[in-house]
């Protein structure tokens, strides 16, 4: 059995988080926050924009703003040299 998240990352996808602020349909002066998270491809973010298109079609709440954060989780290993060596007795 394969892990869908690992396969997506190997295909170039990274973890994308979107803060979606919208006006509540029952109280149009109040803003509500919805946090969405999925693996997506930057810089076009097709999965996120498909979700937002569905939101506009099927959900009565009007979007106010969307803030996007993205992190490519698979990348080259990082290391740094240490100047001190400690001897253990």
Rg (CA), the chain: 20
Instruction: State residue 6's pLDDT score.
Output: 80
Question: Contact, 14 vs 73, CB < 8 A?
Answer: yes
For residue 18, tell me if it sits in a domain.
yes
Could you tell me the residue range of the domain that residue 28 belongs to?
4-71
Q: What is the pLDDT of residue 1?
A: 39
pTM attached to this predicted model: 0.74
Q: Quick one: pLDDT at residue 78?
A: 65
Residue 58 maps to a domain: yes
Q: Is residue 80 part of a domain?
A: no
Q: Is residue 47 part of a domain?
A: yes
- Whether residue 76 is contained in a domain is answered as no
36 lies in some domain = yes
Task: Going from the first residue of the chain to its last (89 residues), give the mean pLDDT of each consecutive group of 10, the final group possibly shorter.
Answer: 75 91 93 95 93 95 93 67 57
Instruction: Name the domain count of the chain.
Output: 1
Provide the pLDDT for residue 74: 66
């Amino acid at each position: 059995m394969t892990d869908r998240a690992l396969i997506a990352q190997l295909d170039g996808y990274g973890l994308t988080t979107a803060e979606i602020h919208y006006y509540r349909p029952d109280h149009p002066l109040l803003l509500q926050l919805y946090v969405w998270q999925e693996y997506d491809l930057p810089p076009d973010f097709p999965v996120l924009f498909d979700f937002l298109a569905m939101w506009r079609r099927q959900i009565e709440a009007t979007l106010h703003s969307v803030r996007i954060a993205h992190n490519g989780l698979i990348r080259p290993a990082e290391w740094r040299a240490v100047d001190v060596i400690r001897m253990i007795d």
